[in-house]
Structure 1
Amino acid sequence: MRVLHVIGTLEPGGAGHQLRLLVRRLPYENEIVTLAGGDLAGARVHHVASAGDRDPAAILRLRQLMRSGRYDLVHTHQYRACVQGRIAARLAGVPNIVATEHQLGTEVVEGRRVSRGVRALYLAAERLGQVTIAPSPAVAGRLRAWGVPDRRITVIPKAIDPREFRFDAGLRAAARARLGVEPGVPLIGGVGRLDPDKRFDLLIRAVTEVPEAVLLLVGDGPARAALERLAIIEGVADRVLFAGTVAHPREMLCAMDVFASPDTTNFGLATLEALAAGLPAVYGSCPPLEERAAARVPVRGTFRLSADRESLPRALRAEVLCLGERRGARLPSRSAGVRYDADHLAAAVGDLYQRISARPGRRRVIAPLLAYRGRFGRKSSFPLPGSSVRNA
C-alpha cells in the first residue's frame, strides 16, 4: 500500500513528532508532503507551500502530486492539511482518505479563531474523507460538537516511544553544566509551548515557595517575554531558566529532578515522557494517568493538582523532600500502559487503513463543497481548484 501523509509542518514536537513515530512503524510505503517545511530522516518528503487555508494553487499542486504518485491512501494531519489534503485527494481520485485532528480547541485551532467560516470549511472537506482520528475523547467530543457524525470518528490516542526518553547520567551532567545548575540543586522543569493557557506563570509563582530549587522551562512561544518579566517581579529571575525550543526533550528531562505541568486542558503527552525518563510528575491534566487513577491502579510518583492555589507549591515542596530522602536517586521508568505506546499507535492506524481500504471509496467531490457554499445562505470566497470565485 502506498500512503501519502499531508501535514502542515514537520517541525519538532506536536503533530510532527507523532507522524515520525507513526511512519517509522507502519509496514507500508510511506511518503510525506509538508505545507510549511521540515524533513524526516529516512522518509521521502515533498514540499508544497501553502499561503493559507483557502489556497487553490496549493490544492492544485497537491492534486498533481497525488495523481503522479498513484497513492492508495492519503492521511492528513492538522487543520490546513486536513482541508486542502482531503479536497486534493478526492480531486486526484485517491480511493481512501483518513485524517487525524491532532488538536482541536473550542475557540482557537492552530492560531486561528474558530469562526463559522473556519468550521464550515472544515466540515465541507471532512465529508470528502472516510474517517477522522481523534487523539482523545475530548477532541472527539469537539468534532461531534462541530457537526462531524459520530460514525466517522475513531479515537486512537497519542503515543510516545519510552526508549527515546531513557535516563542517561552523562546527558544529565552535561545538560546541568551547560545550564549552570550545580549537581545537588533540585531542578523543577516544565516542557511545552510558552502560551498563556499552559499556565507556566503558576510554576514561576510556585517556585518562590521552594527556595532551594531552580525552575527550568523548555520551549518557546508568545508568553516568554511576559514570563521573564514575571520572574523578575517575583524576585526569582536568578532561579528561572529558559532553555528555548529543543529538537528533543530527552536531555532536558534527564537534567530535571521533578516535572510539573499546571495546564488543565492538555492530553499530558509531556507528562508521559517525563515518567518514561524516571521523573516524579505533578500535573493539572493527563487523561491517561486519570484513567489509571480511576481504575485504582495509579502510576507511582504522580500527583494530580487540585483547584487549590496552594496545591502546586505544596506538591513541589513534597517532591523536593522526597528527592532528598532518595538522596537524589532516580525513579524507574514508568508508563500509563501499552495503549499509549508508539507500537500500539501504529498497529491501530494500520488496522484502520486495512478496514477502510476493504470498503469501496466514495467519489463525490462537488456536493460537499456546494454544501459549504450554501451553509450560511451566501457564496463562499473559497473557489474550487481550476475555477473562478464567481463560479465556486
Structure 2
Amino acid sequence: MRVLHVVTGLASGGAERQLQLLLRHLPAHQHCEVAALTNPGAVAAALSAEGVTVHHLAMRGNRDLGALPRLVRLIRAGRYDLVHTHLYRAQLYGRLAARLAGVRAVVSTEHSLHAGVIEGRPVTRGVKGLYLLAERLGTTTVAVSRQVAQTLHAWGVPQARIELIPNGIDAARYHRPDADRAADRARLRTELGLPPESWVVGGVGRLVPGKRFHVLVEAVAELDDGARLVLVGEGPERAALERRAAELGLGERLVLTGERDDVPELLAALDVLAAPSTAETFGLGVLEGLAAGLPVRHSACPALDELPPTAAPQARRIPSDAAAYAAALRDLRHLNDHNTDPLPRPPAVGHYDIARVAADLGALYDRLAAA
C-alpha cells in the first residue's frame, strides 16, 4: 500500500513530531511518503535522514491556489492508495487534491481542535465553514482524544466518520538503565549550567501564550530555595518570558534551551515536570514526563482524563496560577528532596505507547483501502 501524508509544514511542532514518530512504527507493508505545503524545516530533514521521501510544494501562502494542481499531479504520479492529511491548511488542500486525483481513501488527523480554537487561533464562521466543507471530501477524521472527537461531533461531523486514535509516545526511548540516566543527568546539568544538587522544574512545549509558561516563571520565583526552571522549546513568547524572569529576579535560575531533539535525555536532568496550559487536545508533554519517571503537575491533560486515576498516580491536576504551582512545587520539593531515582512507569504510558497507536492506524488504513 502506498500512502501520502500531506502536512502544512514540517517545522518542530507537536503534530509534525507525532507524524515522524508514526512513520517509524506503521506496518512495513504501508509505504509512506510526505508532502509539505510549506516550511520544510527540522522534521523534514529528520525524515529524509531516516529514508522517508519528502516532497516540498513551495506554497507561498494560504491563497496560493497554484499549490493545488501541483499536489494533484504529485498524487496522480505517485499512484497512492490513501492520502492522510494533517493540520488545517493541508486538510483543505489535501482532501480536495486527493479527490481530484481519484483517491478514494482520504484520512485526516485532527491534532488541535477546541470548541472555539483551532491550532491556537480563534475559529471564525469562515474557518469553520471551510473546515466542514473539506471534511465532507474525506473518508474518516481521526481525533487524537475524546475531547477532540466530541468537538468534531458538536460541529456537525457524523459520528460514523470519526475515529478515535490517540497520540502516542515512544515509551522505549524513555526507559533507560539507571547508569545511563545518571550519566545523562550529570552531562546535561553541566551543559545547561545547572548546579548538580539544584532542584529543577521543567516545562516542555512551544513558547506560545497558550502554554502559560509565565505561570511557572512566577511560581519558581516564589520559591526561596534556589530552585531552577528549564523550559524546553522555542516560540514567540521567549522574549516576554525572559523579561518577566528579569522583573522577578529569576536571573540565571531560568534556562531556555530552544528546540531540542533529545527531550528524553533532557527530562533526566529534571526533578518535576509542570504543564500549566489550560487548553490541551491531548497532553503529550505530560505523558513524556510520566514515561521519564517524573512527578507531574498539570492543569489540562485530556489523555489522562480519559483513564482512571490509578493509570497515573504520580500526576496531579492543579489550577493554572502561580500560587497553586508554587504551593505544589514546595510540597514536591519536601517529598523528594535529593531523591533522583525515577518513579515507576504508570499504566498510562503503556496505554499510549506509539507501537500500539501505529498498529491501530495501520489497521484503519487497511480497512479503508479494502472498502
Same fold (TM over 0.5): yes
Structure 2 Cα separation of the partners of residues 164 and 9 of structure 1 = 25
Q: Where does residue 150 of structure 2 map in the other structure? A: 141
Q: Which amino acid aligns with 2:185?
A: R
The structure-2 alpha-carbon separation of the partners of 1:30 and 1:50, relative to structure 1 and needing over 3 Å to count, comes to same
Contact 1:12 1:248 in 2 (8 A): no
Gaps of 5+ in 2: none
Over the residues paired in the alignment, what is the CA RMSD in angstroms? 1.9
- Deviation readout 1:280-325 (Å, 9 max, x if unpaired): 1111112233344xx351423222114676321111111112222x
Q: What's the secondary structure of 1:24's corresponding residue?
A: helix
Q: Which residue of 2 aligns with 1:258?
A: 272
Residue of structure 2 equivalent to 1:233: 247
Counterpart for residue 58 of structure 1? 67
Residues 309/14 of structure 1: CA separation in 2 closer, same or farther (3 Å cut): closer
Residues 1-392 of structure 1: pairs in structure 2 closer than 5 A: 1-27=1-27, 28-36=30-38, 37=40, 38-39=44-45, 40=47, 41-110=50-119, 112-167=121-176, 168-212=181-225, 213-266=227-280, 267-292=282-307, 295-306=308-319, 310-324=323-337, 327-359=339-371
| Rg (Cα) greater in structure | 1
In structure 2, distance between residues paired with 1:307 and 1:268: 15
- Contact 2:276–2:320 at 8 Å: present in 1 too? no
Could you tell me which amino acid in structure 2 is paired with residue 30 of structure 1?
A: C
In 1, Cα distance between equivalents of 2:347 and 2:237: 30
| Distance in 1 of aligned mates of 2:4 and 2:81 | 8
* Cα distance in structure 1, aligned partners of 2:63 and 2:369: 29
5+ residue gaps, structure 1, are: 360-392
What letter corresponds to residue 161 of structure 1 in structure 2?
A: D
Offset of residue 217 of structure 1: 1.0
Look up the SS of the partner of 2:99 in the other structure: helix
1:280–1:331 CA contact under 8 A, matched in 2 = yes
Structure 1 Cα separation of the partners of residues 150 and 204 of structure 2:
26
Query: How many residues in Structure 1 have an aligned counterpart in Structure 2?
Result: 356
Instruction: Give, in whole Å, the separation in 2 of the partners of 1:99 and 1:48.
Output: 19
Q: Counterparts of 2:92 and 2:69 in 1: how far apart (Å)?
A: 13
Letter in 1 for 2:297: V
Q: C-alpha distance in 2, partners of 1:224/1:204?
A: 12
Find the aligned partners of 1:223 and 1:313 in 2 and give their Cα distance.
21
Quote the offset at 1:92 in angstroms: 0.4
The structure-2 alpha-carbon separation of the partners of 1:308 and 1:94, relative to structure 1 and needing over 3 Å to count, comes to closer
Contact kept, 8 Å, 1:250 with 1:277, in 2: the verdict is: yes
